[in-house]
Structure 1
């Protein structure tokens, strides 16, 4: 069982923006597993749970390119029609790496569930996929401070005939629910005693709802909202704050680094904090094209979410 959540400042209390309370709520259990070491870069990894400084930033400056692991989940991270890394997280990574003296990023697409093992196996240099930060994952990787805080929502048939509003409504009505592979929402639903059909992504979820194979598909509000754009057979519900064990479960995502590369994480984190200065103005300029607004901004830290 997760430790009791601890409350701390809201955005309105700390910056005059927004109104959502923030919490150290434990989120989805992370993906376990260690991949074999890749040939590129340093082959030595620290003992499990041990953090080291590392010199990856210097090597990336020499190379001129950082490899970023992404999963196909618009708008967080994906490959666009030109074969380039696109989405909220790659857009932030591109700006920060350039400021750190690394002019290029190279996308390495993989399944979401393979992101942490791939990072540990040195298949790429960072995870740039909007990954939720939680204590289990913090045992496996280092996180920069989160760059967003997200509510959940459902894809449902047009008109929402079953009246889906939140996880409890799914449970009470005995509805069939689907979610994406390694999505935090799977754990949220299971905490309510709901069996979840796990699908590859939100596109598969949209198809499942359209075909009547499930009553709803759950994901982050921004993910499902973009998935249903231009669709007539389905719609999204109003976004809602998930609750687990009677407490709000806050989904805040950020960049992940190997435990052996604290120096790179710290340098990256310093740039994240600069982007958040002055009312998140610069960060919003980067992520607004992907549907992010001031409502998704947060002053949470990785340290708070990992506790």
Structure 2
């Protein structure tokens, strides 16, 4: 998801720009709301939950909005669509009678506006569910939950295990562009002007290896992946950042236009079956997800409803 990988979070009524995957979403919010108004006119049968599923079955293809972010949704080196969300979409939409998925790449901050202006049919980008987004789209239940983790030097010489440690030990701190980890660190007392912002987790790893910073913060799944080939660094144990003084767990999910609740509900039925059978973990495991990322969180919980 998340997001950056565009990191975004969260559900505590805070500024939309403070979300994992992404600060960009807040910039796009006004445009998304305007686009939503247009889509309500163009989407038929809103009172009955929309007719998009019937149309997708007739067409045989569903268009997926992706943000080009590993491991959530991206085009691989062979030009093939993959990632945790697209692979899950392939499985669920096949069960729903839609045999093919078509990627529509865009910037993360353009996903909601693009969805509501009908540039694609569903957001398949591991998007975090939060109240701000819930006012613009309807979410399926989360298909994963996510904690944070740090990239640190081997042996974790400064003993950094959460954002409070970073502040108390005056560690040099880095995270990615648009990551919610920016706000998590600021909430813990770190000066935002002192944070080194890098493009992604690979640049963060390089900064730690080169000694430019003591720690890079990201999601647990991306941090685990990026340190695998590094002899100089390691990943800390995953942890829940504090939001308003309480541990916070994010959840990523598929997003649908507000009028298409019938499609969202049908999607949820199949998602629950995959969770119950264990098939969901099998689909997500190749992208670094573990049993710890499996969740029974609901969109209603994360939307604050």
TM-score normalised by L of structure 1: 0.80
- The alpha carbon displacement at 1:35 in A equals 5.5
Distance change in 2, residues 1:72/1:229 (3 Å): farther
Distance change in 2, residues 1:102/1:298 (3 Å): same
Q: Is the 8 A contact 2:148 2:220 kept in 1?
A: yes
Distance 2:254 2:275 in 1: 15
Q: Is the 8 A contact 1:27 1:249 kept in 2?
A: no
User: Are 1:130 and 2:129 matched, yes or no?
Assistant: no
Q: Is the 8 A contact 2:73 2:82 kept in 1?
A: yes
Distance 1:69 1:203 in 2: 24
Specify every segment of 5 or more residues in structure 2 that has no aligned partner in the other structure, as ranges. 1-9, 20-24
- The alpha carbon displacement at 1:123 in A equals 2.7
Aligned to 2:57: 61
- The alpha carbon displacement at 1:104 in A equals 0.9
Aligned to 1:44: 38
Distance 1:116 1:208 in 2: 32
Q: Is the 8 A contact 1:155 1:218 kept in 2?
A: yes
Distance 2:206 2:272 in 1: 39
Greater Cα offset, 169-178 or 113-122 = 113-122
Q: Is the 8 A contact 1:209 1:216 kept in 2?
A: yes
Distance 1:159 1:111 in 2: 37
Distance 1:294 1:235 in 2: 20
User: Are 1:84 and 2:83 matched, yes or no?
Assistant: no
User: Are 1:298 and 2:295 matched, yes or no?
Assistant: yes
The Cα offsets for residues 123-164 of structure 1, whole Å up to 9 and x where unpaired, read as 322111211111121112111001111221011233323221
Q: Is the 8 A contact 1:275 1:282 kept in 2?
A: yes
TM-score normalised by L of structure 2: 0.81
Q: Is the 8 A contact 1:27 1:132 kept in 2?
A: no
Distance 2:55 2:84 in 1: 25
Within a 5 Å distance, the mapping from 1:97-246 to structure 2 comes to: 97-194=93-190, 195=192, 196-246=195-245
Distance 1:175 1:121 in 2: 44
Distance change in 2, residues 1:244/1:210 (3 Å): same
Q: Which has the higher helix share?
A: 2
- The alpha carbon displacement at 1:24 in A equals 7.1
Distance 1:25 1:35 in 2: 20
2:279 aligned to 274, 278, 282, which one?
282
Q: Is the 8 A contact 1:140 1:259 kept in 2?
A: yes
Distance 2:32 2:299 in 1: 24
Q: Is the 8 A contact 1:61 1:102 kept in 2?
A: yes
Distance 1:178 1:132 in 2: 21
Q: Is the 8 A contact 2:152 2:214 kept in 1?
A: yes
Distance change in 2, residues 1:117/1:214 (3 Å): farther
- The alpha carbon displacement at 1:208 in A equals 2.7
Specify every segment of 5 or more residues in structure 1 that has no aligned partner in the other structure, as ranges. 1-22
